[in-house]
Amino acid sequence: MTVSSLSIGLGASAALRNNAASPLFGFLRDFAPFLGSDGVTLHIVGATHDAVAASGILRAESLVRLPPAREGGVIRLTAMTVPDATGRSALDWVIYLLDPIDPITVFPEMHALKRQCVVHGKPFLTNRAAASEWCALAWSHRTDSRDPVLAPQIARWVRPERVGEETIGLIAHDSQKRTMLEFVRAHRAVLSRFGRRLATGTTGGLLNGEIPARMAGEAESLRDLLPPTPENWVIRYQSGPRGGDAQIAVEVLDGHCRRLVFFEDPHVAREHEADIQLLERATRFAPDGCLCVNDRASAETWIKNLARLL
């Protein structure tokens, strides 16, 4: 199989690559026909590269070794997400499988890597389920989804036939609420096929057709993006600062919520940063994992590829 040129950043915490049964190698075995195809290059951080190369799962010529994390490998990966003078980034996606108790998750370079992915519209995939769903959907965009090698991965990681039983979380910071309303308006038919939709505070109110008092000054500009009459389209939890992120995190931990569309504002300090990190960390603790997309470009790619399978 040949795919158009694709450049992927890859890393994994030590605990997720320490033996043949580890999540990294399970993921690579599942998607070797896609990741090992012509046109795909993996830029891999230090020790992760060495483990992948030793496994023999992928062609050596498709693997590019970056320095180890302790020698700046994650910093280099971060810089590769930033567009050059021509507007092109060296990376299309980043897959970094993170053990939630790995200290690197709190290092500034890991926060910067995630932030730059959000700024530049690059998927940042941090658990096996997220990486697997993203790759299955991307693969299906290039290959018949009934292909006998691909079909089992779609059935396992995307589960399109069960979307009516699935839950999705919809969260947006204040500067991103209009973006969320536009996204939902454009894809309401697909999102309505999920069995449950969860949202925090103000975002939930808007998605249900209510303009909160604190946004009264924006009422006219938002009205055309709201449903015609108020409804209970989403289950509305508390606002993020008042615990809504934690409430949705429990849904993730319990395996009820397997996808989050979380439009973050990467340009402002967030007073409830700990709550945001708690929710993101929950996606790595969840027994089945959870796909979280944090920017409009990635969300558009994900939902359009999903829609093709529904």
Amino acid 137 reads L
Name the band, by pLDDT with cuts 50, 70 and 90, for residue 269. low
Whether 182 and 216 share a structural domain: yes
State whether 258 and 288 are in the same domain. Answer: yes
* 216 has pLDDT over 80: no
Output the CA–CA distances (angstroms, integers) from residue 36 to 19, 29, 172, in the order listed.
21, 10, 36
- Which residue is it, tokens 């033996």? 19
Pair (124, 173) in one structural domain: no
| End-to-end CA separation in angstroms for the chain | 24
Q: Is residue 177 part of a domain?
A: yes
Distances (CA, A) of 146 to 37, 44, 154, 168, 289: 18, 31, 9, 25, 24
Residue 153 resides in a domain: no
Give how many domains the chain has, as a whole number.
2
Specify the pTM: 0.94
242 or 40, greater pLDDT: 40
pLDDT at residue number 3: 55
pLDDT score recorded for residue 271: 65
- Average pLDDT for 80-86: 95
Mean pLDDT of 125-150: 95
Q: What is the C-alpha separation between 115 and 108, in angstroms, rounded? A: 10
Domain check: are 134 and 12 in the same one?
yes
Q: How many Å apart are CA 155 and CA 158, to the nearest integer? A: 6
Q: Give the residue from 113, 142, 171 where a domain finishes.
A: 142
Residue-number span of the structural domain to which 97 is assigned: 2-142
Residue 156 lies in a domain: no
Confidence of residue 270 (pLDDT cuts 50, 70, 90): low
Confidence of residue 217 (pLDDT cuts 50, 70, 90): confident
Q: Which of 147-151, 156-160, 211-215 has the lowest mean pLDDT?
A: 211-215
pLDDT on residue 267: 85
Q: What is the pLDDT of residues 28-66, one digit of tens each?
A: 999 999 999 999 999 999 999 999 999 999 999 999 999
User: Are both 103 and 239 inside the same structural domain?
Assistant: no
Residue 241, pLDDT above cutoff 90: no
Residues annotated as catalytic are 245
Q: Cα(121)–Cα(293) distance, rounded to whole angstroms?
A: 10
Point out the domain boundary residue: 76, 109, 142: 142
Tell me which of 109, 142, 175 is where a domain ends.
142
Greatest alpha-carbon pair distance for the chain in Å reads 60
Residues 12 and 135 in one domain: yes
Residue 20 in this model has a pLDDT that exceeds 60:
yes
CB within 8 A of 52, min separation 6: which ones?
Answer: 10, 17, 24, 28, 42, 44, 58, 63
176 shares a domain with 129: no
pLDDT at 218 (0 to 100): 78
Contact 127, 274 (CB under 8 A): no
Report the distance separating Cα 201 and Cα 212, nearest Å: 10
**Residue 112 has what DSSP assignment?**
H
Contact 73, 114 (CB under 8 A): no
What rounded mean pLDDT belongs to the chain?
93
- Does one domain contain both 190 and 122? no
- CA triple 228-230-236, angle to 5 deg: 130
169 and 123, same structural domain?
no
Same domain, 281 and 191: yes
Residue type, 240: G
CB 34 within 8 A of CB 2: no
Q: Is residue 149 part of a domain?
A: no
CATH number for 17:
3.40.50.1380
pLDDT score for 200: 93
Q: Give the mean pLDDT of 80-98.
A: 96
pLDDT category at 309 given cuts 50, 70, 90 is very high
Is 147 inside a domain boundary?
no
Q: Are residues 113 and 220 in the same domain?
A: no
Dig out the tokens for 15 from the structure.
Answer: 């605990």
